[in-house]
Amino acid sequence: MPRSDRSEDESEPELPYGAQRISEADYFRKSEEFRVWLKREKSKYFDELSGEKARSYFRKFVKAWNRGKLSRSLYAGLDPASASSETHTRHKWNFKNTRADDEALRAVREQVGSANRASSSSSRPAGRVQGPAMPSSSDLVYAREVTREAEEEERSLKRKRDKAETRDRVEDMVGPKEVGREGMLEKKRAKREADRSFRERGDEGLEVDERTLFGSGGGDSFKAQYGIPGRLLLILTATIPRIARRDAAKQRAEAAREEKAAASRERFTAMQQRNDATMAMFQALAKERFG
């Protein structure tokens, strides 16, 4: 026999009972055999594994299956109705069955198994069975976690929107709060203006006539030139820059909030899309399984 033919036969041995080779795509179709193998060979229970751990063990199961290293009973096919419940969970129910109960249970299992085999042979073509089974418990747990995370993200975004709206309403009434060095300078300027106003109002303060304050024409000349009292003009001159700075700070705060909200919306949209894709996958699996 040529070397190439011999190596090919060694790499792909014939499997018992004419069984077909499998791949990681048969995760659902070979779930019962996988559970039995986990219990017998690894002393593990499927329902106690995470989704990632179960996939890792299934890859080892696929390699052993394709090499013909598994028990011959697994290649012959398992009857789901007669598969032992011990492969699904570590818990054991403490019920005492009589011999009559055992006989009746065995008869029911045989009837269900024969009915399932007859239904499968009449409704499905011969050869390898295509299509997945129902999602496992680990997949359902993952779907619930994704849904819960999406709901929590949505609630968090709603709280942030409500908080931002409340802050906007407050700033519309009193203006944004100055922060950092600019805020400290603004407080100092306000204090100086308050002290100056107090000194100007004080009875013991320096008396200055309108000619000295407003020029040779006095207050009437200043009013005639600008249309407003000189003291009010001074107050407005000191206040206008503050208003401009406040408006600029408000615009910067609004731009930062909008940028943050846009990033939050993008994260939520991405999570919602992943959730929709996961649910669509489960719906498709259920539809293919049950029609």
Q: Locate tokens 């949505």: which residue?
A: 154
pLDDT bracket for residue 233 (50, 70, 90):
low
Q: Which token pair is 150?
A: 């999406």
Using pLDDT thresholds of 50, 70 and 90, give the confidence band for residue 165: confident
**Residue 231: what pLDDT?**
60
Contact 62, 23 (CB under 8 A): yes
Do 246 and 175 contact (CB within 8 A), yes or no? yes
Instruction: Provide Rg for the chain, Cα atoms.
Output: 40
Specify the DSSP element, H or E, that contains 66: helix 51-66
Whether residue 133 contacts residue 31, with contact meaning beta carbons closer than 8 Å, is answered with yes
What confidence tier does 17 reach under pLDDT thresholds 50, 70, 90?
A: confident
Looking at this protein, which amino acid is placed at residue 141? V
CA torsion sign for 211, 214, 218, 219 is negative
Residue 58 has pLDDT above 90, yes or no: yes
* Segment holding 283, helix H or strand E: helix 230-290
Rounded Cα distance, 208 and 200, in Å: 10
Domain boundaries, the chain: 3-129, 140-290
From the centroid of its chain, how far is CA 196? 58
**Of residues 182 and 253, which shows the higher confidence score?**
253
| 211 within 8 A of 205, measured Cβ to Cβ | no
Instruction: Identify the DSSP state of 128.
Output: S
Q: How large a percentage of the chain has pLDDT more than 90?
A: 8
Q: Each residue of 95-147: pLDDT tens digit?
A: 455 566 666 666 656 665 555 545 444 444 444 444 445 556 666 777 778 78
d(CA 107, CA 142): 37
Contact assessment for residue 248 and residue 119, using Cβ atoms and an 8 Å cutoff:
no
Report the predicted TM-score, pTM, of the whole model to 2 decimal places. 0.31
Whole-angstrom Cα distance, residue 209 to residue 215? 10
